[in-house]
Structure 1
Amino acid sequence: MSDTFRISISLALGLSWCLWVAWLWWKKRPLIAVNGGQRIVVYASQTGNAQTNAALHQTKLANAIVLPLNKLKTQHLTLADEIHFHLSTYGDGEAPDNGRGFLKLLNQVSQDIIEKIQFSVTAYGDSRYPKFCAFGKEVHQSLLKKGATSLADIRLVDANNAQSTENDPSTFTDVVITEITHLNPKSQSPGLYRLTLKAEQLTWQAGDLLDILPPEGQGYSIARTYSIASASSHLLDESLVTLLVRLHITANGEFGLSSGFLTQQCQVGTSIKVKVRPNPSCQLTTEKHPLLLIGAGSGLAGLLGHIEQRALLNNCGPIWLVYGEREPGHDEHLSTQLNKWVQSQVIQHFDKAFSRQETQAKYVQQVLLANASMVKSFIGEQGDIYVCGSLSGMGEAVNTTLEQILGSTALNTLIQQGRYHRDLY
């Protein structure tokens, strides 16, 4: 072996080692604000509203970056000149999924670091719920208690306010209803309706939401939000938005304002005002990985968009659908289409759970628990979980069951990786 060859081998090995060290550093590099004195805008958002407003805030600040709250680390708190929080409250006063761990992080940060923080909090919520803006208020109070300096009073943004910019009619688009179908006319359950809207002016992704603004004649002008039950608009030959709307009936027998308007007053040909609400936490980054879909009732809507998405694409990962309703026979919505997707292997596994059947009642969380080992193997290292439906009852029970099956650490890892998606209301 010549000296030249030996030298070449040594150089190659040395270069490989350097590249390996550089790769390890890059993979494990600290997620810090690039420069000391930088402003950071962070958001905790379940449906994308706080994220959108955080991005708008960033554009108004010099030398600012924007981050989801679960990416905010101790290094950011140490180096940032200002931190501006945009925080939604989810469910019964909870943090959104991408903000769950922040208060725990805050308790681990030394007092001298927190005392140097200058911050503001904009909290988003809905005053119809008793714990209005609870998460934003909790973060604000925790920072103050630990010695951080507030740059301004906490700002509360109420989605249930007709004067909110979110309800400005000029930001909505007129679309036409092309179909209204009562899906469970013989059921004792409240009516579930499929609405199809001709919406050539709109673009959306599977997982996004649609805000609908009823006319002021309905007694209010506050938008109501529905899960889009269609694949991404760029995949469709026709720009048709599909919704599933449950008719809400109040204790005194009156129809819900929005659901009553859409299902009892609107007709084919009626024009309504709508606006797409991007919902990044429920958009998938790839269609190649396994997808466990879990839902009940009108929550089928959020699942349908992702099923149709994979039906229109090639070489997609497997789908396991676990869906719950009340009565077998009368509440098996869209069974013809779902069965076609099963036969074509778009859906590889389909489990139904009915809470009002002659034999023992069954719920989606019981299906998961009975198939715990399959859940673990199906999700594996790459799979996504997507849950859609009512937070109270189904959503909470499913979350508890998944923690039981996977463990809280593994479930939190899925959240951190953006693989656990929840469209709950």
Structure 2
Amino acid sequence: MSLLELSWLSELLAAHRLWAALAFGGWLMLCWYCLAPAWRRRRRGSPAAAAEWLIAYASQSGAAREIAEQLALTAGHDGQAPALLPLNDLSLDNLSRHSRALFIVSTYGEGEAPDNAALFWRRARHQRPALQALQYGVLALGDSRYADYCGFGRHLDRWLGAAGAQPAIPLTEVDQLAPGALQQWRNRVDHLFGLPVVDDSATETATSWVLAERRQLNPSSPGAAAWLIRLSPIAAMPQWQAGDLAQIRIGSLRRTYSIASLPEDGALELIVRQVVGADGQLGQGSGWLCRHAESGATLEVVLRPNPQFHLVELDTPSIFIGAGTGLAGLRSLIKQRQRQGHKDNWLIFGERCQQHDRWLAEELEGWAAQGMLTLDRCFSRTEETTEYVQHRLTNKADQLRQWVDQGACIHVCGRLAGMGNAVHAVLQELLSAEQWLGLQQQNRYRRDLY
């Protein structure tokens, strides 16, 4: 074969390869053209695609977190995987990457953000990110007995609107976890995101208990009577963690209390203050638990997780601060610490009268004698001096700073008004900015206030 013929044959083969490549490419284009509309339809038909939406929560007692987790679980059952995280773990860049978001948020104190949202709010409230592509809904949980009802939820909703985000669901405010209002909100969410309709109220699991014992902790005290209530399970002992809550059902009434015991104690124990109205009438819940119910009476209890008040997993010192019935939540934590073999526990506890308000003296002083507890008691109604827990903290500021530098976690339990707010202010005053920021960033400042 001549050189001319070889050249012609080579060019012919190259042309065949070119046409084959063009034909294959054209076939791919045709496939894409035919299939892409169906793919786009499927994508448009899934209103809450996994990469699009977010569930963020701000929770102090655990209620907002529980609602968020139930919602995320339902979405997961529908083949979706929304991002679920506390607000403190949400950056503004991350938020701007989502097209849909639900915020389930509680209000703490007087319109404040809960502890697991405080850092986010400090960063975000003075910024205006571009959130025009975001559709959102805010569920604000609150208590109308407080002046700034649902305050943080309202602040967050206004901030989102100012950043250009569009409300897919109007701001929804729910007073004291009212079941009907929660279910109405959930129905709107299910409709918006195409989720299976779920009755959230049906997910609660109540257990039956009997009143086994009650003992007054402060006989002859000038303050209202306080009682240690001991309940025994009718069936098998359910499980809970130190720091969790018990919601007591008394008829149509529901009251939530900090749990003062561990399952290993064989009973559910509460510390309940007897409420007496201006007319001399006993409070409905406390009146029944402390006075009216006879031994052996049955009642229904819903155990509620309170992870924001659980012990930290790290082996670090622990400081426990409380007054009055706040001793309940602290007692369960101290019991758990002792079961874990930790001795570096410091309790600062306040009550009224030194003579009559040495609550659980034998137990607490026994732990102190065994070297398992550093015990500081404060009394506000003494002849010599009036001392509250915040005063004792000030007097022991050097010890406080030393424990914090050693990585201590601080747990505060009791009334928000008075003790809770005062302790918060004193801690900010006594600790350096670096120490205070470290407590918050590492979630070592935990509160159960009511």
Bigger fraction of residues in helix:
2
CA 52–161 in structure 1, closer or farther in 2 if over 3 Å, else same: closer
In 1, are the aligned partners of 2:101 and 2:134 still within 8 Å (CA)?
yes
| Alignment pair present for 1:85 and 2:110 | no
In 1, Cα distance between equivalents of 2:207 and 2:145:
26
Which of the residues 233, 253, 261 maps onto 1:222? 253
SS of residue paired to 1:114: coil
For 1:78, give the aligned amino acid: S
In 1, Cα distance between equivalents of 2:144 and 2:179:
12
For 2:98, give the aligned amino acid: A
In 2, are the aligned partners of 1:183 and 1:191 still within 8 Å (CA)?
yes
Where in structure 2 are the equivalents of 1:326-345 lying within 5 Å?
326-345=352-371
| Alignment pair present for 1:252 and 2:279 | yes
In 1, are the aligned partners of 2:318 and 2:346 still within 8 Å (CA)?
yes
In 2, are the aligned partners of 1:186 and 1:330 still within 8 Å (CA)?
yes
CA 201–322 in structure 1, closer or farther in 2 if over 3 Å, else same: same
For 1:376, give the aligned amino acid: R
Which moves more between the two structures, 325-334 or 72-81? 72-81
SS of residue paired to 1:92: coil
Q: Which residue of 2 aligns with 1:204?
A: 240
Deviation readout 1:20-56 (Å, 9 max, x if unpaired): xxxxxxxxxxxxxxx9943211100001110011111
In 1, Cα distance between equivalents of 2:67 and 2:309:
18
In 1, are the aligned partners of 2:119 and 2:440 still within 8 Å (CA)?
no
In 2, are the aligned partners of 1:213 and 1:222 still within 8 Å (CA)?
yes
Q: Which residue of 1 aligns with 2:375?
A: 350
Deviation readout 1:320-345 (Å, 9 max, x if unpaired): 11110000010001100111101111
Q: Percent identity?
A: 36
For 2:149, give the aligned amino acid: F
CA 107–398 in structure 1, closer or farther in 2 if over 3 Å, else same: closer
SS of residue paired to 1:152: strand
SS of residue paired to 1:84: strand
Where in structure 2 are the equivalents of 1:260-271 lying within 5 Å?
260-271=287-298
In 1, Cα distance between equivalents of 2:70 and 2:382:
50
SS of residue paired to 1:151: strand
SS of residue paired to 1:393: helix
CA 161–321 in structure 1, closer or farther in 2 if over 3 Å, else same: same
Q: Which residue of 1 aligns with 2:124?
A: 106
In 1, Cα distance between equivalents of 2:84 and 2:445:
22
Q: Which residue of 2 aligns with 1:189?
A: 223
Deviation readout 1:135-167 (Å, 9 max, x if unpaired): 111111121122111111112222264746788
TM-score by length of structure 2 reads 0.80
In 2, are the aligned partners of 1:167 and 1:223 still within 8 Å (CA)?
no
Q: Which residue of 2 aligns with 1:42?
A: 56
Q: Which residue of 2 aligns with 1:151?
A: 168
In 2, are the aligned partners of 1:120 and 1:151 still within 8 Å (CA)?
yes
In 2, are the aligned partners of 1:291 and 1:317 still within 8 Å (CA)?
no
In 2, Cα distance between equivalents of 1:412 and 1:226:
30
Deviation readout 1:225-281 (Å, 9 max, x if unpaired): 1010113x2xx1x53111000011122222111111110111221111111110001
CA 368–409 in structure 1, closer or farther in 2 if over 3 Å, else same: same
In 1, Cα distance between equivalents of 2:201 and 2:121:
32
| Alignment pair present for 1:180 and 2:180 | no
| Alignment pair present for 1:133 and 2:150 | yes
Q: Which residue of 1 aligns with 2:66?
A: 52
Q: Which residue of 1 aligns with 2:445?
A: 420
Q: Which residue of 2 aligns with 1:407?
A: 432
SS of residue paired to 1:387: strand
TM-score by length of structure 1 reads 0.84
CA 170–108 in structure 1, closer or farther in 2 if over 3 Å, else same: closer
Deviation readout 1:272-326 (Å, 9 max, x if unpaired): 1111110001001337210111111111111110111123232x15011111000
In 1, Cα distance between equivalents of 2:171 and 2:105:
11
Which of the residues 335, 354, 359 maps onto 1:308? 335
SS of residue paired to 1:223: strand
For 1:176, give the aligned amino acid: V
In 2, are the aligned partners of 1:127 and 1:160 still within 8 Å (CA)?
no
Structure 2's unaligned 5+ residue stretches are: 1-48, 184-199
Q: Which residue of 2 aligns with 1:384?
A: 409
In 1, are the aligned partners of 2:405 and 2:435 still within 8 Å (CA)?
no
Higher Cα Rg: structure 1 or 2? 2
CA 177–85 in structure 1, closer or farther in 2 if over 3 Å, else same: same
Shift of 1:68: 0.5
Q: Which residue of 1 aligns with 2:321?
A: 294
CA 71–170 in structure 1, closer or farther in 2 if over 3 Å, else same: closer
In 2, Cα distance between equivalents of 1:253 and 1:412:
46
SS of residue paired to 1:301: helix
In 1, Cα distance between equivalents of 2:417 and 2:201:
26
SS of residue paired to 2:170: coil
Which of the residues 187, 210, 213 maps onto 2:249? 213
| Alignment pair present for 1:372 and 2:389 | no
For 2:116, give the aligned amino acid: N
Structure 1's unaligned 5+ residue stretches are: 1-34, 216-220
CA 160–222 in structure 1, closer or farther in 2 if over 3 Å, else same: farther
In 2, are the aligned partners of 1:43 and 1:87 still within 8 Å (CA)?
yes
Q: Which residue of 2 aligns with 1:31?
A: none
